[in-house]
Amino acid sequence: MKPEYDVIVVGSGITGGWAAKEFCEKGFKTLVLERGRKVDHRGPEYKDFKAPWELENFGLPPELLEEQNRYKTIRNSQSFFNTSNIQFFVDDKEHPYSFPEDRPFHWIRGYQLGGRSLTWGRQVLRWGVKDFEANAKDGHGVPWPIGYQDLAPWYDYVESFIGVSANKDGLEEVPDGVFQKPWEMSCAEEFVSKNIAKKYTDRHLIIGRAANITEPTEEQLKLGRGQCQARSYCRRGCMFGGYFSSLSATLPAAERTGNLTVVTDAIVASVNYDEQTGKASGVTVIDAHSKEVRSYRARVVFLCASALGTVQILLNSKSKAFPNGIANSSGAVGHYIMDHFTGVVADAEVPGFEDKHSFGRRPIATYIPNFRHEQKDGVDFVRGYGYQTTASSRTSTGTTARRIGIGETVKMQAKQPGPWRFKALMYGEMLPYYDNKATLLPDKKDQWGMPVLHIDAMVRENERKMTKQAAVDIEEILQAGGCRDIKIKPIPDDQPMPVGRRIHEMGGACMGDDPTKSVLNRWAQSHDVANLFVTDGACMSSCATQNPSLTYMAITARAADYAARLLKEKVL
């Protein structure tokens, strides 16, 4: 039977949108399958123009849903969850998963067209040379089959399209790229940054790198995107298209070619394998509403369903050739699950600048890159950590709504500016442990008959050691930065550190040169099934310390270019 499409892309988020754009622009008929509902860019689900009184519960977290134990993992892990963006997150009751009672995992998902590209943090930091070399250097995980030099031109390509506002800092830890005008540091942040630079040569406070447009290019304007307005309503959806998402950029670019077909409410249950050809023939889909089962055929399949979503599909794709899941001859599918972790939070006062105030709501904060690649100072752990910060601004006494009193005195106390404060959160690199894994529970199924995913992952001794040193380091950094009233909150040894809270889940179908130990080759192509590719977070062999989405996009663009060449040569 002749394939209906050249390429099937499973998922429409950060990587799915990129795969669709690349194949459509190269002339291939491409089908994008999204398990969630259709959401229109600038449609009614975007609430970035809603006033507080127009939002349910005035935009505060929905207490009724909390009592019903819905959206539990989001509520437990992220303060940004409220009625202005609840529509973009998954209800855990409707989409269950499992984890050991003593090792909780927070799987935060967004099932709609555009996926989590509608709610991501937009920090786009390149990985450096040492990040790709770490596995081979210290022996943890599967060595990367590619290095920074392989991705560098694709980082350029991706940054040029999405729009990255950043400063060229000249740091090997986070290499410079194709940038638009950076956001400015506040006076307090500049003060801290300059003081740190006076003491250290290896520790730097830089402005974050945001996928928010400051100088729209002609290409971005043609797609209907506009300059970021610094409203900080990104997670509500942005009608300006000021930040990059699948809905604002890659899917419109794919659609204008005439080669794109999008089907929503289509839950991909499995990748179909043809025993005669030794290739994937397409996918089997369950309709989210009718539960009808149907199949689509294609010459190439790209899995971009999110790291754990892709693992679930791979493990559920059983055949005579692959009784433990497609592309799993190595037995590595589902293993090496990772996420970043935060074991330390620091808060400090920045003295002075009482005559200055911040204006607007900048969409990105500052960042301290990883300075622990080489293990000096007698530390006894491997890898390292950086620090994400919140935008430094002046504190306020707040409104009178939660204060007792009446009259002129209360009015005088309301909204009085306080000192400038600086807050930093450790982002540690979790090692790729084989025993951190995801498996299927065959006896427990969701409402569509899909086996529920069981995720068993935890931080270990190396990460705990990192946390203790990170507390020491950030206190020293803030002291050097000229801060005072420094408060450090390291997580106690006896307190659990749930994986998944940073929403950077990675691993499960790692890349590597050895087909007996890895799932994918250097092109994110299955070792076992030549026309099957995985380019979402599942393909990652380590997690570094930087936010991963930019690297996902570069890997996807590179893999799509390679697959397109094989399609044209009739190899696939």
Neighbours of 183 (CB within 10 A): 22
pLDDT at residue 84, rounded to an integer: 84
What Rg, from alpha-carbon coordinates, does the chain have? Answer: 24
Tell me how far apart the alpha carbons of residues 239 and 234 are, in angstroms, rounded to a whole number.
10
User: What is the arithmetic mean of pLDDT over 347-366?
Assistant: 89
Residue 390 — pLDDT band, cuts 50, 70, 90?
confident
User: Quick check: 9 pLDDT over 50?
Assistant: yes
pLDDT in tens, 200-246: 999 999 999 999 999 999 999 999 999 999 988 888 999 999 999 99
Tell me how far apart the alpha carbons of residues 542 and 504 are, in angstroms, rounded to a whole number.
12
pLDDT in tens, 62-102: 654 554 455 555 554 445 677 888 889 898 889 999 999 99
pLDDT in tens, 235-279: 899 999 999 999 999 999 999 999 999 999 999 999 999 999 999
pLDDT in tens, 437-465: 999 999 999 999 999 999 999 999 999 99
pLDDT at residue 418, rounded to an integer: 82
User: Quick check: 326 pLDDT over 60?
Assistant: yes
With beta carbons less than 8 A apart as the criterion, state whether 348 and 482 touch.
no
pLDDT in tens, 117-128: 999 999 999 999
Name which of 289, 296, 290, 291 is nearest 271 in CA terms. 296
pLDDT at residue 402, rounded to an integer: 56
Q: Which residues contact 526 (CB under 8 A, 6 or more apart)?
A: 326, 327, 519, 520, 532, 533, 534
Tell me how far apart the alpha carbons of residues 180 and 132 are, in angstroms, rounded to a whole number.
26
pLDDT at residue 59, rounded to an integer: 74
- What are the CA-CA distances from residue 309 to residues 108, 306, 485, 500, 508 (Å)? 11, 5, 44, 14, 10
Length of the chain: 572
pLDDT at residue 406, rounded to an integer: 67
Name which of 532, 555, 79 is nearest 321 in CA terms. 532
pLDDT at residue 493, rounded to an integer: 86
With beta carbons less than 8 A apart as the criterion, state whether 39 and 247 touch.
yes
